[in-house]
Structure 1
Amino acid sequence: MDTNNLLNNLVTAVLVIDANLKPCFANAAAEQLLAVANHKLLELCLPDLYQFLGVEASILRDAVKSNQGITVNTAPLITLDGQHHTIDLTLVPIEDKQNLSLLELRQVDQQRRIHQQLNMDAQQQAAQYLVRNLAHEIKNPLGGLRGAAQLLSRELTSPDLKEFTHLIIEQADRLRNLVDRLLGPQMPTQHAEHNIHQVVQKVLKLVELTLPANITIKRDYDPSLPDILMDHDQLQQAVLNIVQNAVQALEKTGGEISIKSRTQHQVTIGTQRYKMVLTLSIIDNGPGIPPELMDTLFYPMVTGREDGSGLGLSIAHNIARLHGGRIDCVSAPGHTEFIITLPLQLQ
């Protein structure tokens, strides 16, 4: 059995380090956790691979030299790209190799994130079910109201009276459009292979037409990402909704929106485990999302803006779900990040 291949399929980050804390092996999960490519991982010492770790490097170094083991639970880790993690750290000496130890870094927030996603999906589906039923109940009488106004308009000869029937028809159409937006896409559509960067570029081309001068957009793409099966128009709508939210968050203060694409290994979406996924992050350095909105952020009609409809994120979440993916959000003052995660079909 190929040991390297076996270790690369683990969810836990595994590194083999020497007495100088220099890795001589790192599996795919370690690359993913530390957000550092394997060749660079093996060139640097462990303390150079993160911004902060809740265990002193000197403690790890002494443990390796003395062939002792260490276990630290719920240690904070901040990677070089600024991501915050909570990990369980285990250092175990390798018996037949002097001054070499096996270092395991296991993310303990993974299970919590999975539980939160399953809970959010269940609540989202319940909300969507309620909205769909309510929308159908509205559309039936609305159609009758519009039809009656059309018939009445044909019988009227006075332009002043016809103006009222036209107003009824206009408002009925507006309500019907709102209901249709509430319903959003409900069933998977025909998917074809497209590149996610083509989708993003079309969105940015639309957004940049009316982009305020005090907002800049930064692109940070992984050019090696393969094409994926998608409904091009639906995903374009999902990305557009999130980018427009970022623009609106920065309108008054100005700032930067960063679009970042990456791959991740061994990711669970719902109850399905994927060897590799695509992640598209839309990041802004605006004021952040109010904490009281975070738990219901993707519900229909939930918004923090007076003129907002509260449908953009709900529709984006539903589109990601129809593609077998998910959307996560991390927000604090100065950093709001929406992460669209989509499975990659490996050959």
Structure 2
Amino acid sequence: MDTQNLLNHLVTAVLVIDSGLKPCFANAAAEQLLGTGSHRLSEQALTDIFQLQEVAATILADAVRQGLGLTVNTASLVTFDGQHHTVDLTLIPLENEPGLSLLELRQVDQQRRIHQQLTQDAQQQAAQFLVRNLAHEIKNPLGGLRGAAQLLARELDDESLKEFTTLIIEQADRMRALVDKLLGPQKPTAHLPHNIHEVAEKVIKLVELSTPTNIRVIRDYDPSIPDIDLDADQMQQALLNIVQNAVQALEDGGGTITVRTRTSHQVTIGAQRHKLVLMLSVIDDGPGIPPELMDTLFYPMVTGREQGSGLGLSIAHNIARLHGGRIDCDSSPGHTQFVLTLPIKTGK
């Protein structure tokens, strides 16, 4: 049996490192986690590739040198391309190989996100159920109010009085449009193959027309990503809502927004596991989202801004759900990242 081939089929990142923290072996999962190839990994120390906030590099190096084991749960790992991960770290000294240790980095982001998604979906469905019932109760009297105003307008001879009936009709239409927007799309539409970067470019160009000069948008695309089956208009709306959210977060102090595309393998969305998915990230270096809003971030009418409607992220979440995907958010001061995950058909 080919041991290297076997290791490359593991979803756990496995590296063999020396006391200088330089890898002499890395499996495919390690390359994907650290965002670099095995050749480049073998030329650099781990400290040049990522940072572990809970474990000092000297502690890791001393453990390898002394042949000691080490275990750290839920460590924060930040790669130098800006990716944030939560991992369980295990260091095991290799028998008959003095000065070398096996380093396992098992991502726990996915388990945490699966739990968050299941909880979020249940709460979102309850909120949507409430909103739909509320919308039904609002639309019925609005329709009656609008119809009565139209009938009254026909009976009035004084044009100055008709201004008031026109105002009633306009406000009733505005309220109905708000309710429709609150509901968002409810049913899947026709999905056709589209290049996700074309969708992203339309959104960025639209945003850049009104973006202040102190905000810069960076494109970080993976051009190898294949076309994805989606509703281009809906996906453009979802991405626009997320990017506008980032712009609003940076309006006061300025900063940078990065739109990044990557792929990931063997990702579970809901109860279904996908061989290949798109990870579309919108990252800003703004002040971050208040912790008290994180659990209800995708609820309708939830917003941290005085002038916000609280509908943008709720609609984006619903569009992702209609595409069989999900949206995740990680936020801390100086780093907020929304990740839209969408399945990619592999043809197998």
TM-score, normalising length from structure 2? 0.90
Shift of 1:166: 1.0
Instruction: Please say if 1:275 is aligned against 2:272.
Output: no
Q: Does the CA-based 8 Å contact 2:15-2:27 persist in structure 1?
A: yes
Aligned position for 1:310: 310
Q: Say how many residue pairs are matched.
A: 347
* Aligned partner of residue 236 in structure 2, secondary structure: helix
Q: Which residues in structure 2 correspond to 1:21-100 (within 5 Å)?
A: 21-52=21-52, 54-55=54-55, 57=57, 60=60, 69-94=69-94, 100=100
Q: Is 1:261 the equivalent of 2:286?
A: no
Contact 1:29-1:266 at 8 Å conserved across structures? no
Query: In terms of mean alpha carbon deviation, does 244-253 or 4-13 score higher?
Result: 4-13
Distance 1:78-1:247 versus aligned 2 partners, 3 A rule: closer
Aligned CA distance change for structure 1 residues 63 and 250 (closer, same or farther; 3 Å): closer
Q: Does residue 195 of the first structure (1) align with residue 195 of the second (2)?
A: yes
* TM-aligned CA distance change 1:87 to 1:252, over 3 Å: closer
Q: Distance in 1 between matches of 2:58 and 2:284?
A: 37
In the alignment, is the contact (CA less than 8 A) between 1:73 and 1:87 conserved in 2?
yes
Moved more, 70-79 or 236-245: 70-79
CA distance in 2, matches of 1:56, 1:245: 35
Q: Which residue of 1 aligns with 2:335?
A: 335
Aligned to 1:102: 102
- Structure 1: runs of 5+ lacking an equivalent: none
Please give the residue correspondences for 1:233-252 in structure 2 after superposition, counting only pairs within 5 Å: 233-252=233-252
Give the match's secondary structure for 2:162.
Answer: helix
Look up the match of 2:169: 169
| Distance in 2 between residues matched to 1:68 and 1:215, nearest whole Å | 48
Which structure 2 residues correspond to residues 79-228 of structure 1 after superposition, within 5 A? 79-94=79-94, 100-228=100-228
Q: Which residue of 2 aligns with 1:285?
A: 285
Instruction: Tell me the C-alpha RMSD between the 2 structures.
Output: 2.4
More deviation in 14-23 or 273-282?
A: 14-23
> What residue identity is the alignment partner of 1:148?
A
User: In 2 relative to 1, CA 8–323 (structure 1 residues): closer, same or farther, beyond 3 Å?
Assistant: farther
Change (3 A) 1:39 1:263: farther
Which range is displaced more, 256-265 or 30-39?
Answer: 30-39
- Look up the equivalent residue of 1:15 and give its one-letter code: L
Change over 3 Å in CA distance of 1:273–1:312 after alignment to 2: same
In structure 2, the CA distance between the partners of 1:190 and 1:101, relative to structure 1 (3 Å rule), is: same
CA apart distance, 1:300: 0.3
* Aligned AA (2:117): Q
Amino acid paired to 1:23? P
Instruction: Please tell me whether the aligned partners of residues 28 and 265 of structure 1 are also in contact (alpha carbons under 8 angstroms).
Output: no
2 CA distance for matches of 1:6 and 1:235? 38
Please give the per-residue CA displacement for 1:307-328, whole angstroms capped at 9, x wherever unaligned. 1111011000111111111111
| Cα pair distance change 1:207/1:290, threshold 3 Å | same
Query: In 2, distance between residues paired with 1:330 and 1:73?
Result: 19
Residue 73 of structure 1: SS of its match in structure 2? strand
Distance in 2 (CA, whole Å) between partners of 1:123 and 1:105 is: 32
Checking the alignment, whether the CA contact within 8 Å between 1:323 and 1:342 is kept in structure 2 is yes
Which is further off, 186-195 or 50-59? 50-59
> What corresponds to 2:299 in structure 1?
299
More off after superposition, 4-13 vs 268-277? 4-13
SS state at 2:307 partner: coil
Q: Give 1:4 shift.
A: 4.3
Distance 1:2 1:184 in 2: 52
1:16 & 1:126 partners in 2: Cα distance?
48
Deviations 1:211-235 (A, max 9, x none): 2222221111111111111100000
Letter of the 1:81 counterpart: D
Larger CA deviation: 51-60 vs 200-209: 51-60
Q: CA deviation at 1:141?
A: 2.3
Q: Does the 8 Å contact 2:74/2:108 carry over to 1?
A: yes
Kept in 1: contact 2:113–2:328 (CA 8 A): no
Q: Which amino acid aligns with 1:114?
A: I
Identify which range, 61-70 or 38-47, moves more after superposition. 61-70
Describe the superposition over 1:125-157 as per-residue Cα deviations: whole angstroms up to 9, x where unpaired. Answer: 110111011112211222222122222222222
Output the CA distance in 1 between the equivalents of 2:174 and 2:99: 72
**1:319 alignment partner, SS class:** helix
Shift of 1:49: 2.3
Secondary structure of the structure 2 residue equivalent to 1:36: coil
